[in-house]
Amino acid sequence: MSHLRDACGVFGVFAPGHDVARIAYFGLFALQHRGQESAGIAVADEGQVTVIKDLGLVSQVFNERMLTSLSGQHAIGHVRYSTTGSTGWHNSQPLVRSRNGDVIALGHNGNLVNTTQLRDELLSRGVKFSGTTDTEVITALIAHEAQGDLLGAVRTAVGKIRGAFSATVMSGKALVGFRDPYGVRPLVLGRYDGHPVISSETAGLDILGAQFEREIAPGEIVIADAEHGLRSVRVELEGARPALCIFEFIYFARPDSTMVGRNLHQARQAMGRHLALEAPVEADLVVPVPDTGIPAAIGYSSASGIPYTEGLIKNRYVHRTFIQPDDDLRKRGIHMKLNPLTAVIKGKRLVVVDDSIVRGNTTTKLVEMLFGAGAAEVHLRISAPPIKWPCFYGIDMATRAELIAANLSVEDIRRKVGATTLHYLTLDGLQASTGLPETQFCRACFTGDYPIAVPEEYAMCKMRFEKGAACEP
């Protein structure tokens, strides 16, 4: 219930003769779960790049009049959840810079680990920054690479940046999608009426009726323009290995998306089945924490034979809001998002399935709420191992001092949150559920084994470039 937050969702389409802004809008609509802080679309029309972006959900930022005004041949789109830099219009994406008399726009999902070094180098060359994100550093690197075309500038930038980055970038003439050599964040290529579409997830293709072609490979750059069609090049990095974030499988991506050939709903059901085998318990009902606990709860129910039911109703209209509750409403906290079905759970022994526990505060409130609604027992089952290490690759995660599993044993956590029993899915059980070898994934938040080296001086502070920010290394 104490959910992690992924960085962003990116989208791009090159389709002359089609309403590319509207295509981008619906692509972003399908990727809304990846970020709810801001949304933006950039469109190129006869070499002219126009950007509309603002804070809020996709449906709040755009209307029919705006989309009608955004005509062009290709477009990119972005939805943001901040992991570097504050929530503000200046940090919303796509970001725009001029390059050799042209304009480029860029949207990025992930997090760099050498942002400070690259930013300092650019500042020493007289480059100005108006925002505080690592995305602005990537954009500036591409914009200030004077030699060659857009593809050449992207190749040069990819050779310099380190960390997690799946991105779309466009000029007045071309659309580019690129992915870091480890493939930490997902990126796929599809076809809409024969034209190339780039999306963070296959769900962004499905909403359009676009055909999935393939995943963009780690280190791959794809480019589409009117002169050459679709081309692809690869940037090799010595020592790089596939390292898709395993939390894409557990929670981040939509369950109807497919990654590495696996449907995520089925993979999450498998996590639930493994949980049932690892931690059986006598109970009356299996209850998911909606929405992300649903597939694993279904799997737990099917493997255990314990009936599955909705015991918590989610308010599906709670997203980012600029209207904050007063103190009395804030005390009700979790009830703004979830409400128990007292008639269903009163007197029952519950198996409650969720995807993760981060700090533990929200889980404690959830358990209190269920007992307050009359549950006889609450057996927590978590479809991920204990999170013991922070993420440096694009997850807005607590520092290690704040991660409950980094500081307490499972039994201590059980007592703290007030559950009758608590079991986390083992790392072996999680890996088996994916149907893929561990060498395909980054699992650093569970193991502390980081595939991409993180500089010792790296400050785990999303506000490190904000004026007056106090960040400890």
Enzyme catalytic residues: 8
Report the C-alpha gap between 472 and 462 in whole angstroms: 11
Strand partners, 88: none
Q: Find out whether the peptide bond into 473 is cis, omega within 30 degrees of 0.
A: no
What's at 369, amino acid-wise?
M
Report the C-alpha gap between 309 and 292 in whole angstroms: 15
| DSSP code for 336 | G
CB 191 within 8 A of CB 21: no
Query: Going by C-beta distance under 8 Å and a sequence separation of 6 or more, which residues neighbour residue 338?
Result: 289, 290, 312, 313, 314, 315, 366, 369
Nearest in space to 286 (alpha carbons), one of 270, 268, 274, 272 = 272
CB 132 within 8 A of CB 91: yes
Question: Each residue of 38-67: b (16+ CB within 10 Å) or e?
Answer: bbbbbbbbeeebbbbbebbbbeebbeeeeb
